[in-house]
Amino acid sequence: MASFDGYSLGVYDMSDDLELERLRRRKLAELRRKFTEQVKDEAAGSPGKEVSIDDVLRGILVGRAWEVLAAAEAQYPRVASEVKRGLALLAVKGRIKGPISGEQLMWFFRRLGLRVRLETKIRFLESGELKSLAEKLRGG
């Protein structure tokens, strides 16, 4: 094996990748466990004020954010519920400054690697009546 200024130039060992992946998974599991404990502790800490996650989110989600969240829940239910809990927790702690729009929430899901698809409708206003693209193509 050759060396260059004290660094060995050897064969790449794939077991390093496996070890990194194991460490990453262990850390993620630990963070999830801590987050769950924290949410439980906060819920137990205020028994008189039972506030649902949706109630908290009503205060921070604006515009099309509810539409994006509903689409995410339909397409990625487990991840969306974790995102909802996380957003609610951050809002309760005061770590979220200002409202969250649909565009910001869509960007957040994209950063997580999730492509949330929204239903798109194309409509035309013709003679005071809204017509879908299908109706327009049929000549209706």
The predicted structure's pLDDT at residue 103 = 96
Burial class (CB in 10 A: 0-12, 13-18, 19+), 111: exposed
The residue type at 102:
G
pLDDT of residue 42: 67
Question: Is the pTM higher than 0.85?
Answer: no
Residue 2 is predicted with a pLDDT of 55
Long-range CB contacts (within 8 A, 24+) of 22-28: none
d(Cα 18, Cα 43) in Å, to the nearest integer? 37
- Give the residues across from 2 on adjacent strands: 9
Per-residue pLDDT of the chain (140 residues; tens, 9 = 90+): 555 555 555 555 667 788 888 888 888 888 878 877 777 676 666 555 667 899 999 999 999 999 999 999 999 999 999 999 999 999 998 899 889 999 999 999 999 999 999 988 888 888 888 988 888 888 76
pLDDT of 30: 85
Residue 84 has what pLDDT? 95
